[in-house]
Amino acid sequence: MQVFKAYFKVIRKNMLAMSIYIFVFVILAFLLTLFFNQPSATSFSPVKIRIAVVQQDPGSAFSQNLEAWLRNQAVVVDLEQTQDSLQDALFYRDVEYILTIPSGFGASMMDRRYEATLNRTVVPDSYTSIQMDLQIDQYLNLAALYLDSLPGLTADDLAAKIDRDMAAEAAVIMKTSSDSQNVNKMTFFFIYLTYSIMAVMILGVTSIMLVFNKSDLRRRNLSSPVNPLHFNLQLVLGNLIFALAIWLLMSLLSLLLGSQPVNGKQFLVLSLNALIFSFLVSQFIGSRAAQQSIANVFSLGACFISGVFVPQDMLGKTVHTIASFTPTYWYVRAVNEIGSLTSFSLQTLQTAGTYMLIEIGFALALLAVSLAVIKQKRQAQA
């Protein structure tokens, strides 16, 4: 087991650098989980904008009805009708929108002349001002439509018709993730652990394998009495032990969350799934030039499309299809399935077990490809 012993000598010499990676990613996963809040049912209600109305046309029924409608659509703040008071209110964000109804505006509308215009003062680059403009424009367009279509309509009848039309509302359905409803802190930790495990394992394993892939050391190993197959198997065994150590560290950290009683069976199954994923990722071997890019681009890319950062049922069909070719996708599906279980038996674990077997299939395929690539390189250099 000379190669196996040498593997851990390399680990000891690179322990400081790898510890930094492990510390950063583990703390990141731990903090995100610590601030996790259990998703709750959400509802939609329109937000009313704080506005001020300067009424300079009090004798017009149309202008009075417009102001009354505005008080239902927004929070109208009664301010002193002076320029300084209005500017101060806008500056300190007491209001976000100031509407001035000029004298003669109501008569211009009712006579269908449409000459007078409303004046507005808004907070610069405010989306609320656009929202308020759209509502006022809709009101005035409806008023013009009724006045042109029904001559002789009184201001009160006009206001009643506009109020009836403007009262129509579209049904708003807040889409929520069904997976997130079953997520607790431990489950969330194991989901986000995907990114940490992948990044740490890729950085750790590649750092170790770069030593064994140095040209001088590789040639020396080729001339040694150690069988190439045994050499490769000892490297694989070292990678698996390293993966086991990373998995054990990160799984035990999940027990420190302490926000709720730990379900022992759920913890064991989640840990088993994470262990399989750790063994899978340990098969990635790269060069120093590709080390950082693989660790960051592949880890982040796989996590984004596989449901780590966005719940899987919020992703489109095309993303699901692409993500199904990555082991991360099946790992997250297994975690979601385990997190939703209330009882643990061979029957209830059947679906999660299927996902774990798919992960094992990925691991075996990557192992076979890794051994084939190593053998090809050695034959080319022999």
Read off the CATH number of the domain in which 144 is found. 3.40.1710.10
The torsion angle over the Cα atoms of residues 127, 129, 135 and 141, rounded to 10 degrees, is -120
User: Which of these three, 99, 133, 166, is where a domain ends?
Assistant: 166
Same domain, 198 and 345: yes
Are 226 and 302 spatial neighbours (Cβ–Cβ below 8 Å)?
A: no
Same domain, 30 and 103: no
User: Which of these three, 166, 197, 223, is where a domain ends?
Assistant: 166
Helix (H) or strand (E) holding 258: none
Same domain, 205 and 70: no
pLDDT score recorded for residue 259: 44
pLDDT score recorded for residue 34: 67
Same domain, 98 and 219: no
Same domain, 208 and 291: yes
Q: Which pTM does this prediction carry?
A: 0.55
| Confidence band for 286, pLDDT divided at 50, 70 and 90 | very low
The whole domain housing 318 covers: 2-40+178-381
Same domain, 35 and 59: no
Same domain, 246 and 363: yes
Question: Does residue 258 sit within a domain?
Answer: yes
Closest CA to 280 of 355, 378, 218, 212: 355
Scanning 223-263, the segments in alpha helix (DSSP H) are 228-254
Same domain, 35 and 80: no
pLDDT of residue 112 exceeding 70 = yes
d(CA 287, CA 249): 26
Average pLDDT over residues 201-211: 72
Q: How open is the CA angle 323-363-272, to the nearest 5 degrees?
A: 90
d(CA 216, CA 189): 43
Same domain, 200 and 340: yes
User: Which of these three, 143, 166, 189, is where a domain ends?
Assistant: 166
pLDDT of residue 213 exceeding 80 = no
Same domain, 98 and 137: yes
Question: Does residue 45 sit within a domain?
Answer: no
Same domain, 153 and 220: no
State which of 66-80, 272-286, 327-341 shows the largest mean pLDDT: 66-80
For strand 119-122 and strand 97-101, is the pairing parallel, antiparallel, or unpaired?
Answer: antiparallel
pLDDT score recorded for residue 43: 60
The count of domains in the chain is 2
Mean of all residue pLDDT scores within the chain: 76
Specify the range with the lowest mean pLDDT, choosing from 108-122, 147-161, 228-242, 245-259.
245-259
Question: Does residue 291 sit within a domain?
Answer: yes
pLDDT score recorded for residue 146: 92
Helix (H) or strand (E) holding 102: none
Question: Does residue 173 sit within a domain?
Answer: no
For strand 50-55 and strand 119-122, is the pairing parallel, antiparallel, or unpaired?
Answer: unpaired
Residues facing residue 97 across a β-bridge: 51, 122
pLDDT of residue 115 exceeding 80 = yes
pLDDT score recorded for residue 169: 73
d(CA 87, CA 359): 64
Question: Does residue 205 sit within a domain?
Answer: yes
Same domain, 91 and 134: yes
Average pLDDT over residues 149-159: 88
pLDDT score recorded for residue 290: 55
Q: How open is the CA angle 174-178-184, to the nearest 5 degrees?
A: 115
What percentage of residues in the chain have a pLDDT greater than 70? 73
Question: Does residue 171 sit within a domain?
Answer: no
pLDDT of residue 111 exceeding 70 = yes
Specify the range with the lowest mean pLDDT, choosing from 6-10, 173-177, 342-346.
173-177
Are 66 and 139 spatial neighbours (Cβ–Cβ below 8 Å)?
A: yes
Question: Does residue 156 sit within a domain?
Answer: yes
Question: Does residue 362 sit within a domain?
Answer: yes
Specify the range with the lowest mean pLDDT, choosing from 65-74, 121-130, 240-249, 263-272.
263-272
Cα of first residue to Cα of last residue in the chain, in angstroms, is 23
